[in-house]
Amino acid sequence: MNEIIAFLRKKDYRITVQRKAILESLVTCGQFFSAQQVFDNVKRTYQDISFDTIYRNLNLFSAFGLLQQIHLPKGDGSVFEITEEPHPHLICLRCGKIQCVDNTLVDLTVINEALWPGFTICRYSLEFYGYCSECRDAQRLSEERKETNVCI
């Protein structure tokens, strides 16, 4: 957290009591967290903080690459992850489980040259949506049960 505070100060952002409380909350939120979770955590200590303040700060931290925003399927919003390097994610459409993907599997040089030669990628967000093995197996089992219960 001290590195983030130093980084923000270097960018001429004030470290307000609210901003510090948000940063402290991030440490306790777990690997993936929503703006609502951060809001609920901070609200316990600072009742007058607004959801908008939380969201603006999370977006600021994301813009600086301190957090990675992960977009959820079906209009469920997004979650954030504290990370030093952006990386892709696998997201299950059924249970919502998120799995990090090693970013060495994504060759940005090849992608960059294929899509827009001369363009410099500064950061990226890449999500793959599908079904985890547990949900895929559960879906298959459910379909098999439907087939065996067909009335003739």
Q: Please give the domain boundaries of the chain with CATH numbers for all domains.
A: 1-84 (1.10.10.10), 85-152 (3.30.1490.190)
In whole angstroms, give the CA distance from residue 97 to residue 117.
Answer: 35
Residue 92 counted as an annotated binding residue: yes
DSSP string of 68-89?
A: EEEEPSTT--EEEEE-SS---E
Flag whether 100 is marked binding.
no
Identify which has the larger pLDDT, 97 or 75.
Answer: 97
pTM for the model: 0.77
Q: What is the pLDDT of residues 28-50, one digit of tens each?
A: 888 899 999 999 999 999 999 99
Q: pLDDT by residue (tens digit) across 114-137?
A: 888 888 877 778 899 999 999 988
Was 29 annotated as part of a binding site?
no
Asked if pLDDT for residue 21 goes beyond 60, the answer is yes
Q: List pLDDT tens digits, range 86-120.
A: 889 999 999 999 999 987 777 777 777 788 888 88
**Which tokens in the block code for residue 6?**
């130093």
What distances in angstroms separate CA 90 from CA 25, 42, 116, one per listed residue? Answer: 25, 29, 25
**Residue 135 annotated as binding site:** yes
